[in-house]
Chain A
């Protein structure tokens, strides 16, 4: 036991002495969560739009006022004719143009029908889509308001309600993703690098020719990173609660337990990688290619899995991060417990056991 503690002490020296890596390890979660929270966002806020009003009557003014008073849009300019539309877009200031046809109010009352054209800048398709949806819903809203006193015979009122993330805040979607990436990075990559460093500097030779048992070496390597990962997970959760006012719907204890499970999954992957790489650089490359990229791209945290081709959808099933993202979203946003997430949890446990078995089998007590 004393040997083991001596070993862990040494590992902590390594981590603390390498100031640059330590700074990255502790600073990364904060930077990432703030980046994803503030900068990379799908929400729209104060989007500049232009108005081309051919009728300039009471109704169009009412609609314009309604749009301008929402926090989503601000009216940048009023343009006089169609030729100016393109010029206005090209200046890059506005994202959409709203065109009211001639005699809008008159047509609406006489013919019960008037048209508005929405032109959006689809060079950013996601934003364009969102803008047109928002404008549509404002118009629908106005329509209901003016029809309030008129009874129509048949009418379908779609009543959309967003649950679990009612304000559609994208940061809520990113928190589980960032958490997954950080835990994967710290646990898997750092452990694999730290074990292969012993090989690279030849210290592994002496560790092998010592009475330390292989599992003691491995556990000793892993313990400091478990603590670091738990610390990082805590920072991420605290930041999302305090800065982004994210509600954690589910049980905090369950969240911690699932986090520890995923940390162990990542660590076992890290150990597995270290058994096949003889230097730090190789360990890093393998970690980046086989862990980081699939975690970011195939875990479903940025790109929805349901819109991937079937072959990629099938591949996502073997990505541990996918299951962890589902679990995290379940706990954080939906507030569900083990009774809903037992399948995903079991899959993660199974994967972890598989990786551990494989690493034990591949770990060498000799040099070859």
Chain B
């Protein structure tokens, strides 16, 4: 009864945006669509929120068909588009009030649902939405999307352009909303946020590459991964790329993540190789893969 998508395909002129997308979101689940910009996430959101027609395939949201029953879907979902759809020249309070009225409800009626979020921006309720910070805009947009107590919540890249503290708070809020029985489909380009979802779908070039819980996805990572650091990261990457046994080399934060072609990998051998290239302060440690590593592996 959450979301069910079957073989959804969509192209614009010559560009294929989505290829044969199928996935299910259970009722009350927090489901993440993880993928870089241009992977087709927003297009999928628009098809599910009845804003676009799919070329092929079908989908239901909260039990309603996205084509035939679009009117019922529009009554039962909350949608927060990539660009926060707020009226910049209206105040915080006026924005919320407007969305409440057009969905036929009032702020008071559903105040308990948005209370925790709204209370943080309530001190600024007379301020125009255009003058809010990114984090506050995001909270207001979420409040607006929630004001009519939707069964399913669609959040298209809600944390893009928002500071790390607000991002963390935002995910805590989503967890609490989930506990109130709301099904949530959220998309994000940030891999670290993926681990906060119940289940995720990794999406790239309009195709879903893997669907599972974040833990299972990590468990299925086929290789041993090594975290390598040295004084000069640029030289380190160059040297590792020269190393004949390397399978993958990519920067990860301040370090480099490395996998080897061989099943039996001797870190001492690599250490000696790097030393011979005059790299200083070389450190090699075995590490646990993350969603980002999985993603890099899948897109290889």
Residues of chain A having any CB pair with chain B under 8 Å: 2-3, 5-7, 9-10, 13-14, 17-18, 201-203, 205-212, 366-368
**Residues of B51-73 contacting chain A, CB below 8 A:** 51-53, 71
When chains A and B are docked, how far (Å) is the Cα of A368 from the Cα of B85? 19
When chains A and B are docked, how far (Å) is the Cα of A203 from the Cα of B87? 7
Query: With A211-B104, A367-B52 in contact, do A14 and B89 touch (Cβ < 8 Å)?
Result: yes
Residue among A3, A205, A206 with max Cβ neighbours from chain B (10 Å): A206
- Residue from the list A10, A202, A208 in contact with B90, Cβ < 8 A: A10
* A210 proximity list for chain B (CB < 8 A): 74, 99, 102-103
Are B87 and A14 closer than 8 Å at their CB atoms? yes
Are A10 and B51 closer than 8 Å at their CB atoms? no
Are B85 and A208 closer than 8 Å at their CB atoms? no
Shortest distance between the CB of A296 and any CB in chain B (Å): 31
Residue among B71, B87, B102, B104 with max Cβ neighbours from chain A (10 Å): B102
Query: With A13-B90, A367-B51, A368-B53 in contact, do A211 and B102 touch (Cβ < 8 Å)?
Result: yes
With an 8 A cutoff between CB atoms, is B101 at the interface? yes
When chains A and B are docked, how far (Å) is the Cα of A2 from the Cα of B145? 19
Chain B residue nearest in CB terms to A207? B102
Chain B residue nearest in CB terms to A206? B85
When chains A and B are docked, how far (Å) is the Cα of A322 from the Cα of B128? 43
* B103 proximity list for chain A (CB < 8 A): 3, 210-211
Stretch at the interface among B76-84, B158-166, B167-175, B233-241: B76-84
Are A206 and B79 closer than 8 Å at their CB atoms? yes
20 CB contacts below 8 A, A to B, read A2-B101, A5-B101, A6-B98, A10-B94, A13-B89, A18-B89, A201-B83, A205-B79, A205-B81, A206-B79, A206-B85, A207-B102, A209-B49, A209-B51, A209-B74, A209-B77, A211-B75, A212-B102, A366-B53, A368-B52
**Residues of B265-299 contacting chain A, CB below 8 A:** none
* A7 proximity list for chain B (CB < 8 A): 98, 101-102
**Residues of B116-169 contacting chain A, CB below 8 A:** 128, 144-145
With an 8 A cutoff between CB atoms, is B9 at the interface? no
Are B104 and A2 closer than 8 Å at their CB atoms? yes
* B74 proximity list for chain A (CB < 8 A): 208-211
Chain B residue nearest in CB terms to A220? B102
With an 8 A cutoff between CB atoms, is B50 at the interface? yes
Residue among A10, A209, A368 with max Cβ neighbours from chain B (10 Å): A209
Query: With A6-B101, A367-B46 in contact, do A205 and B89 touch (Cβ < 8 Å)?
Result: no
* B128 proximity list for chain A (CB < 8 A): 17
* A13 proximity list for chain B (CB < 8 A): 87, 89-90, 94
With an 8 A cutoff between CB atoms, is B86 at the interface? yes
When chains A and B are docked, how far (Å) is the Cα of A203 from the Cα of B90? 13
With an 8 A cutoff between CB atoms, is B193 at the interface? no
